[in-house]
Amino acid sequence: MKTVSIVIPAYNEEDTILPCLEACIAQTVPAHEIIVVNNKSTDKTVDIVREVQSLYPDAPLILLEQSEAQGITPTRNKGFDAATGEILGRIDSDSIVEPTWVEATARAFEQPNVDAVTGPVIYYDMPFRRFGKIADDTLRKAMFKLARDYKFLFGSNMAMSREAWLAVRDETCADEEDLMHEDLDLAVHVRDAGFNIVYSSEMVAGMSGRRMDDSPADIVSYLGRYDRTYNHHGIPDRRLRVPAAVFMALYPIAKTMHWGKRISKAIRSS
């Protein structure tokens, strides 16, 4: 089984980094290394990572600093460049991977012609999580088939081979103005370099629904990253914009559910 490094870009994630790291440590197959790349955090993110290092001295937990530029792209790149595993996993600092995540990721790369893989997520702080997992997996599989040529990678739950990364690392867009989806940009370059992206329903990560706290204007700007990413690369296929349309259609329902759970939690704790 190939070795799997987990790279976690982090910026001011004191509320989520602890459960994220605990999930990465508690794997059925241990990760080769768990790399947190701190990007100019001003909260307790670094202190928490160091505390976890002291609590789990045998865990391959590494803390790196990326202070040259603010942004997820250079922070991700720092982690990928430092990783020594055969497979470079990538999650967010609010991701809580399933206990079998490393095992499922490594197993996906045992299949022929697999250079990168992505999977579904569970919104762990939203109601109806079991249904949500099924719905998310169903939608992502459908969109994966719809995409045809340009398959997506989802930054909260993805992995790629070291070979693929080394082939595209100097081609990926710096996106210094922070206008694009860095994971979609990466997927475009992976595909254009001749590598194959697949989808695995077994590779499951939890993620927060905290984006539902954003204003409608922020959500619209976020979804506009789909168009900006593909337009930047001169890819006119309108099918690739379907995820943004689906998210926008589901946004009112998801926001209502998210706030309903928060209100219910507040009432129970009062």
Q: What secondary structure does DSSP assign to 88-133, as a single string?
A: EEE--TT-EE-TTHHHHHHHHTTSTT-SEEE--EEETTSS-HHHHH
- Identify the pLDDT of residue 255: 53
For the chain, the average pLDDT equals 88
Residue 148 pLDDT exceeds 90: no
Residue whose token pair is 């694009």: 180
- Identify the pLDDT of residue 135: 85
pLDDT digits (tens, 9 = 90+) for 191-211: 999 999 999 999 999 988 776
pLDDT digits (tens, 9 = 90+) for 73-118: 999 999 999 999 999 999 999 999 999 999 999 999 999 999 999 9
Stated pTM of the model: 0.88
* Domains of the chain listed by start with CATH number: 4-207 (3.90.550.10)
pLDDT digits (tens, 9 = 90+) for 2-51: 999 999 999 999 999 999 999 999 999 999 999 999 999 999 999 999 99
Do 157 and 187 touch, CB atoms closer than 8 A? no
- Identify the pLDDT of residue 264: 46
* Backbone dihedral angles phi then psi of residue 26, each to the nearest 5 degrees: -90, 65
Do 23 and 96 touch, CB atoms closer than 8 A? yes
* Backbone dihedral angles phi then psi of residue 144, each to the nearest 5 degrees: -65, -45
- Identify the pLDDT of residue 249: 62
- Identify the pLDDT of residue 253: 54
- Identify the pLDDT of residue 211: 66
- Identify the pLDDT of residue 267: 46
pLDDT digits (tens, 9 = 90+) for 53-63: 999 999 999 99
Residue 256 pLDDT exceeds 60: no
- Identify the pLDDT of residue 263: 42
pLDDT digits (tens, 9 = 90+) for 124-141: 877 767 777 888 899 889
